[in-house]
Amino acid sequence: MKKGIFAAILGSVFLFTAHAKADINAAQADAFVRKVANEGIEEIINANVSQSVKQQRFEKLFNEALDLDFIGQFVLGRYWKTATPEQRKAFIKVYRELNIKTWSARFDEFKGKSFVFNGSTPSTSKNQIFINSTVAMDQGEPAKVVWRVKQTGSNFKIVDIIIENVSLAITARNEYTAFIKNNGGNIDALIADLQKKVNAPVKPAGK
Amino acid sequence: MIKKAFLFSIFSLTLLFTTSCATSQSQTDQHEHEDTLESFNRAMFTFNYNVDKYVLKPVAKGYRAITTPDVRTRVYSAYLNIKEPMFAANQLLQGEFKQSGISLSRFVINSTLGLAGTFDVATAWGLEQKKDDFETTLAKWCVPDGPYIVLPFIGPSTPRAFAGLMVDSFASPVYWLTNDHDDGIYAYGAYIAAKSIIIREASLELGDDLERNSVDFYTTMKSAYLQNKTDMPNCFNDTQTNAAYDFDFGIEDEEQTFDEMEAE
C-alpha cells in the first residue's frame, strides 16, 4: 500500500517535471497567432492605405512575428556550418527581404479572407507548438494553414508556416541546399541569386 | 482502352517495386527527398514546363478572362460532381460503406436537383463531400509510394499515384459515356483538357509566385508535391498526424550563435 502511494507520488512528480520541461503556453501561443493574423488582415490587407504604407506595416509585423534568424539557420541546412559569419548575415538579410517582398505582392489575394482557428497540436520539439487554422479559398475546400510557434521566456515567434502539409521551412531548405550543391557548394551564388530576385521589379502575380 | 490503361497500371506498379528495391538509403539530409531518377525527372520537368508555358497557362488565362468568378465556381463544382462516383467506388474498396453511400447520393442529388452538379445541394442537406481516390485506397492497402517521377503531361507523380490515376479514370461517368462510341476517345480527351484548364486556372498566382521566388523550381515543385501528400493514410495508422512537418530544427543554442555572429 505504502509502496503504491510512493509510486503514485513519484509518478506525479515525474509527470509534472516532464510536462514542465516541454512547456509552452498553448493558450498564449494561440492568442499570439490570432493577433498576428488579425493584424495582418485588418491593419494591412483590408486597410484603406497606400501600398507603400501597407508594405511598411507588413515589414514591421513580419520582423516582430517571425524568428527569421532561427528559420534561416535551418534553411541553409548543412551549409550553415561551413558559411562564414558574413555569409550567414548576408543570407539572413536577403532571405528576409525576399520573404517580405513575396508576401507583400500577394496582399490582394487575401482581401476579405479570414482565418478560422481550430486549436493546437503539440510538437516533439521543446517549447514549440502547432496552431491549426483554415482559410477559405475561392474554389474548393478551405486550405489548411498550420503555424509553428516557439516560446522563449514570455516571447512568442513563428518559426514555420505549413500550408496544406507543405512546410515553408522544409521547402526552402530543399531548394536552397539543392541550389548550393548544384553550384559546387558556393553559398555566395545563392545569396547573389536571391538578391537578384529581391531587386527585380514587382510584378503582380497571375499577370 | 481498358486494356491499355490496365497495362499502364501494371507497368507502373512493377516500376514501383523494382525501383523501390533498388533504392539505397544514402540520405545525407533527413529532410531531403530521395530522387533516384533525377536526371530523367529534370528533363521531363523542363518538357512539362514548356507545355505549360506555351499551351496550358495561356489557355487557363484565357478561360479566366472570359468567365466571372461565379461561373468558374459553378464549373468547378460540376467538375467535382463528375468525380463523385469515383469517390464512392474507392470508399467502397476502403470499407467505408456509409461514406460510399453518401458520395453516391451526392452524385444523384447534385446531378439532378443541383443542375448537373453546378450547385452543391447535397452539402446543404448534410451530405458532406469526402474525396477519396485510388491512390488513397492503395495507401490503405499498404502499397508503398515508390520513387518520385515526373511524367510527361501529368507532372509530379509516383508509381502509386500514377496507378491510382489510371484506375480512377474507369470510375468516371465521362469514361462510361464515351467508352462505347467510336469517337469516344476524342470526347474523353476533351474532358481531360477541360479538367486541366479548370485546375490550372485555380493555381495561376501560386504557380507564378513559386516560380518567381524559386532558385531551383524543379526542387521546389518536388518538395511541395511530396510534402503535400504526406497526409495520406497508411496501412498502420489511419489518423493523420503532424509528424511529417514536426521536424527537429536541430538548432540548440541559436541565441548564442547569433550573439557570436553579432559580436564579430
* B76·A160 Cβ contact <8 A: no
Say if A176 falls within a structural domain. yes
Residue type, position B193, single letter: A
State how far residue B1 is from chain A, nearest Cα, in angstroms.
31
For chain B, residues with pLDDT lower than 50 are 1-2, 6-7, 15-28, 256, 263-264
- Quote the domain boundaries for residue A38: 3-13+26-199
B80 → chain A, closest CA residue: A140
Supply the pLDDT for residue A154.
87
Pairwise CA distance, residues A108 & B85, whole Å? 37
* B214·A102 Cβ contact <8 A: no
Pairwise CA distance, residues B116 & B173, whole Å? 12
- Residues whose CB falls within 8 Å of the CB of residue B120, separated by 6 or more in sequence, listed in order: B77, B81, B110, B114, B129
- Quote the domain boundaries for residue B140: 2-23+35-263
* B245·A205 Cβ contact <8 A: no
Supply the pLDDT for residue A68.
92
State how far residue A7 is from chain B, nearest Cα, in angstroms.
32
State how far residue A128 is from chain B, nearest Cα, in angstroms.
10
Task: State pLDDT tens for residues B3-47.
Answer: 555 445 555 555 444 444 444 444 446 677 778 899 999 999 999
Say if B30 falls within a structural domain. no
* Nearest Cα residue to B173 out of B89, B47, B249: B89
Q: Does A194 touch chain B (CB under 8 A)?
A: yes
Q: Share the mean pLDDT of chain B.
A: 83
Q: How does pLDDT run along chain A (207 residues), one tens digit per residue?
A: 455 555 555 555 444 444 444 578 889 999 999 999 988 888 888 888 888 888 889 999 999 999 999 999 999 989 999 999 999 999 999 999 999 988 888 887 778 888 999 999 999 888 999 999 999 887 777 889 999 999 998 899 999 999 999 999 999 999 999 999 999 999 999 999 999 999 988 765 444
Q: How far apart are the first and last CA of chain B?
A: 68
- Residues A167/B227, Cβ–Cβ less than 8 Å: yes
State how far residue B128 is from chain A, nearest Cα, in angstroms.
11
Q: Does A95 touch chain B (CB under 8 A)?
A: no
Quickly tell me which residue has 548550393 as its cell: A180
Q: What is the number of domains present in chain B? A: 1
Taking residue B213's Cβ as centre, other Cβ atoms within 10 Å add up to 20
Q: Residue B39 in 3-state DSSP?
A: helix
Q: Which three cell numbers stand for residue A85?
A: 559569419
Q: Which among A102, A139, A190 is the nearest to B202, CB-wise? A: A139
Say if A18 falls within a structural domain. no
Name every chain A residue with its beta carbon within 8 A of the beta carbon of B128.
none
The full DSSP string for B157-203 is E-HHHHHHHHHHHHT-HHHHHHHTSTTHHHHHHHHHHHHHHHHHHHT
* A140·B29 Cβ contact <8 A: no
Pairwise CA distance, residues A31 & B69, whole Å? 34
Say if B28 falls within a structural domain. no
A73 → chain B, closest CA residue: B251
Q: What is the number of domains present in chain A? A: 1
Radius of gyration of chain A (CA): 21
Supply the pLDDT for residue B19.
47
Q: The domain that contains A120 carries what CATH number?
A: 3.10.450.710
Say if B29 falls within a structural domain. no
- Residues B238/B142, Cβ–Cβ less than 8 Å: no
Q: In Å, how far are A82, A130, A197, B15, B156 from B20, measured between CA atoms?
A: 33, 33, 38, 8, 17
Supply the pLDDT for residue B29.
62
Taking residue A58's Cβ as centre, other Cβ atoms within 10 Å add up to 19
State how far residue B217 is from chain A, nearest Cα, in angstroms.
8
Supply the pLDDT for residue A1.
47
B60 → chain A, closest CA residue: A206
Task: Please give the model's pTM, rounded to 2 decimal places.
Answer: 0.81
Residues forming a β-bridge with B80: none
Q: Which three cell numbers stand for residue A59?
A: 515589414
Supply the pLDDT for residue A204.
56
Supply the pLDDT for residue A7.
56
* A98·B216 Cβ contact <8 A: no
- Residues A55/A118, Cβ–Cβ less than 8 Å: no
Say if A20 falls within a structural domain. no
Q: In Å, how far are A33, A34, A195, B42, B253 from A119, measured between CA atoms?
A: 11, 11, 38, 40, 29
Say if A109 falls within a structural domain. yes
* B247·A170 Cβ contact <8 A: yes
Say if A21 falls within a structural domain. no
* B209·A166 Cβ contact <8 A: no
B75 → chain A, closest CA residue: A139
